[in-house]
């Protein structure tokens, strides 16, 4: 038997760029990246703290992120949340090439420093 076309068997055919398909990254993958970025931005966590977790909604190459975390207290909560926002935008953008439109940081719990006030 002979092949139906003149091309050798197994030869790649050129596909137009618009017909090649697309890569879709699942929301849960982006959420894991965002949670890891939040961990990186925070540094060491308080002793009993739960590591940050995130939820993400993606749509046409953009992402909206919600990060839930616990912080030590006293600390500059606003500055730490801003650092988390910046780092999440940077890492998600770099790793999955998405425009992060919103990062909402929810502080779930504050862990007081037990050593303060002790003499």
**pLDDT score recorded for residue 119:** 46
- Return d(Cα 92, Cα 115) in angstroms, integer: 36
Backbone angles phi, psi at 22, to 5 degrees: -150, 160
CA–CA separation, 86 vs 65, rounded Å?
12
Burial class (CB in 10 A: 0-12, 13-18, 19+), 27: middle
Phi, psi of 69 (to 5 degrees): -150, 170
> Quick check: bond before 90 cis, omega within 30?
no
Asked if 100 contacts 92 with a C-beta cutoff of 8 angstroms, the reply is: yes
* 45 CB burial (10 A radius; 0-12, 13-18, 19+): middle
* 77-108: pLDDT as tens digits: 999 999 999 999 999 999 999 999 999 999 99
Extract the tokens encoding 37.
């970025």
- Whether the full predicted model's pTM is greater than 0.95, yes or no, is no
Mark the ranges of the chain whose per-residue pLDDT is less than 50. Answer: 119
At 65 the pLDDT is 98
Which pLDDT score, from 0 to 100, does residue 17 have?
Answer: 78
């Amino acid at each position: 038997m002979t092949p139906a076309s003149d091309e050798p068997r197994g030869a790649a055919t050129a596909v137009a760029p618009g017909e090649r398909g697309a890569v879709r990254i699942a929301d849960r993958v982006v959420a894991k990246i965002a949670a890891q970025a939040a961990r990186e931005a925070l540094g060491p966590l308080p002793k009993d703290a739960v590591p940050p977790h995130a939820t993400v909604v993606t749509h046409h190459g953009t992402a909206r992120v919600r990060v839930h975390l616990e912080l030590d207290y006293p600390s500059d909560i606003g500055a730490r949340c801003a650092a988390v926002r910046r780092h999440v935008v940077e890492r998600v953008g770099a790793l999955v090439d998405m425009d992060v439109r919103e990062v909402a940081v929810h502080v779930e719990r504050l862990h007081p420093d037990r050593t303060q006030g002790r003499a």
